[in-house]
Structure 1
């Protein structure tokens, strides 16, 4: 209980701070980012509060509750959204996702980051920020400090992209549709991407929303591939033939099943009030569980771990974010 209660208090504070910024027309700060940051500050400044009896509660939040959140996360993604983007928009999205994964993993390893941290930076930049990091962390076996650092780095550079890309769009004389593709493909987090689009205009905001949702939907196949790759590396060898068994995590199966349910529900029920209300309730619960898990990740992080992975994560995150922004800009200009 001590760990869960402390993580819940940080979660409530994160939602309150994010809401306060929103009411004051300040920067759009994700509760996930605030929770990780507050958890880190508490862990570093009051280590006696975050150790001992609190640790089992943190582990429950970052393992069991996070896996439940990953399953529920699937209900946010309707795979049919990909079809709305069109061939040219989808090419831009695929190019950005491929760039983010390649730069995150390859450049991250070149810079000396661990394979786990490199994967988190790559998938967080390529697809949908902290949600993708949370979903990928159990698959790659990431440590708590790696999840915390990757989440903070991804959010910081995503916020920078949200501010910088509209300026780039105006300087390059982009129309609303072109910039919408750039915002949806080039900004990490969904809320940040949509905010960047609407800062350019309502038409750009609508396009950015569709493109970003299509990009987020690619989390399903990427996680499946990631699960197979890491399953081969860590799989058990059978006694009879020496074959490697690939174990797909149960929560990933649940994630894909939930995405399929969302796709079918949108097709059959459309905008029916009960279906929309259910999705809203699930979305609220999922966000709360993700913020709780990320708060627990931050609360478990130690200063020694931050010193070891911090600078490398910053360098990998910056390189990957710039590469994705460049590819998204070139793609939006040439393919839309």
Structure 2
């Protein structure tokens, strides 16, 4: 009971911020609740400094509730929805994801962007923006500042994409399907994919949304790859320093396993009718709560010290992914 009392103040403040951020996200969907949550949290923490009594609850929300949110979102994902589209878009998805990681690694080194931030920008661009960053950050033990900065960077290019992709698509002469595949693989956040897709046409919007769902399933293998990398690093560290206690079960991201279980249950039809709609709403709200807590833990001065290089990296990764998506479609005869 005592520990719950310690957690409650921080959880409540994150909950209240999330309510405000979600409402603002509904009014301005291109920006979205997660970005509003982070920004409000950062403003509060850096203008008035949050009281100590909030610390435990804020940390709990940014870590545990973040993981629970990923599991809940899994329950809203059906593999049946992505089966056919997944086969059609597989080549483009594989090449764009590979491009994102390779570009983030190479140019991240050249720009001297630190490891975790470089990884999160690559993951966010490769898969599905904030949700992918939320899934990978606990695995690589990223700090809150890197999470906040990477999501802010991804958000910037989402906005640009929503504004320039539809007119560019018409200028290039894309079909509805080609544009939907381009938007679904080269824009990060789901709301931005939907906005750009439907701005082009209804058919493009429908196809882009399903492509985006297909791309979101890549969270599972990518998470397992990062788990294997972290396990190898921890094992090496334990071999060099006998005081380090290495246990694979401790570093394994069990929440990703439960994400997969929840997705399988949904695919099997366990969750009926309108319940899936409410599951998605709950999962997204929990993400906003967790990101609000991350904002409350972020030091804006430290973010500023990182400079413009992570944003330049985000631009390079995003541009390369957009170009590769078009090239692969052209080679495979989809354009």
Are the counterparts in 2 of residues 232 and 245 from structure 1 also a CA contact under 8 Å?
A: no
Distance 1:86 1:261, change over 3 A: closer
Deviation sequence 1:2-42 (CA, Å, 0-9, x none)? 322222221111112122336xxxxx221001111111122
- Give the secondary structure class of the aligned counterpart of 2:161: helix
Separation (CA, whole Å) in 1 of partners of 2:307 and 2:64: 27
**TM-score, structure 2 as length reference:** 0.89
Counterpart check, 1:37 vs 2:42: no
Q: Name the CA distance, whole Å, in 2 between partners of 1:56 and 1:103.
A: 37
Corresponding residue for residue 260 of structure 2: 256
> Deviation at 1:318?
1.1
Offset of residue 86 of structure 1 = 5.7
> For 1:182-221, what aligned pairs fall within 5 Å after superposition?
182-221=182-221
Q: Contact 1:179/1:332 (CA < 8 Å) preserved in 2?
A: no
Shift of 1:170: 1.0
Q: Is the 8 A contact 1:4 1:57 kept in 2?
A: yes
Confirm or deny that 1:315 pairs with 2:312.
yes
Give the alignment of 1:1-12 within 5 angstroms. 1-12=8-19
Contact 1:197 1:206 survives alignment (8 Å):
yes
The 5 A counterparts of 1:239-278 are 246-247=248-249, 248-265=252-269, 275-278=272-275
* Structure 1 residue 282 displacement after superposition: 1.6
CA contact (8 A) 2:26 2:32 kept: no
Please tell me whether residue 59 in structure 1 is matched to residue 59 in structure 2: yes
User: Any conservation in 2 of the 1:193–1:209 contact (CA below 8 Å)?
Assistant: yes
Secondary structure at the aligned position of 2:112 is classed as: coil
Shift of residue 246, structure 1, vs aligned partner? 3.6
Distance 1:20 1:256 in 2: 32
CA distance in 1, matches of 2:259, 2:293: 22
Alpha-carbon distance between aligned partners in 2 of 1:102 and 1:246, rounded to the nearest angstrom: 27
Correspondence for 2:25? 18
Matches within 5 A, 1:1-336: 1-21=8-28, 28-47=30-49, 50-85=50-85, 87-235=87-235, 237=238, 246-247=248-249, 248-265=252-269, 275-335=272-332, 336=334
Return the TM-score normalized by structure 1: 0.88
SS of residue paired to 2:268: helix
Secondary structure, aligned partner of 2:75: helix
Task: Give, in angstroms, the shift of residue 228 of structure 1.
Answer: 1.1
Shift in CA distance, 145/196, structure 1 to aligned 2, threshold 3 Å:
same
CA contact (8 A) 2:76 2:277 kept: no
Determine helix, strand or coil for the equivalent of 1:113.
Answer: coil
CA distance, structure 1, for counterparts of residue 90 and residue 96 of structure 2:
10
**Number of equivalenced pairs:** 320
Deviation digits for residues 220-276 of structure 1 (CA, Å, limit 9, x no counterpart): 111111111112112375899xxx7544222122122222222222xxx7xxxx613
* 8 Å contact from structure 2 (residues 35, 152) kept in 1: yes
CA distance in 2, matches of 1:109, 1:76: 37
Deviation of the 1:149 alpha carbon: 0.7
Deviations 1:264-299 (A, max 9, x none): 22xxx7xxxx61322222211111111001001011
Alpha-carbon distance between aligned partners in 1 of 2:276 and 2:307, rounded to the nearest angstrom: 37
Instruction: Name the CA distance, whole Å, in 1 between partners of 2:186 and 2:60.
Output: 34
